[in-house]
Amino acid sequence: MAKRPKKYVVIYEIDTGYMDCVGICDTADEAYGKAYLALCDGLEDDAYYITLPDTREGDNGYILECRRKEDDKVEHWATVLFWYGDEDEENES
């Protein structure tokens, strides 16, 4: 049986190297919602689209991207990471 994450961490990024934690969530639905809203924030027209979640390189989470329809260029992206807790915490329970 697969171990379920205790928390979901949402990281917003742009290609300048800027990163921001936009949420620490209790459910996957909440985390993907926060990621989607962070990517939509400030978009003024329908020249962009948000991708479906896809496995991030290295299998270290899932990524959603905001892309321009005109040339498919990635404008910014959000990653949902999974936190499972510490092994020591589990042994104390």
Nearest to 61 by CA among 82, 92, 40: 82
Q: How many residues does the chain have?
A: 93
Domain boundaries, the chain: 7-92
Residue 63, strand partner residues:
54, 79
Q: How confident is the model at residue 39 (pLDDT cuts 50, 70, 90)?
A: very high
Q: Per-residue pLDDT tens for 62-79?
A: 999 999 999 999 999 999
Mean pLDDT confidence for 41-68: 89
Torsion (CA) 57, 61, 64, 70 in degrees, nearest 10: 0
pTM of the model: 0.83
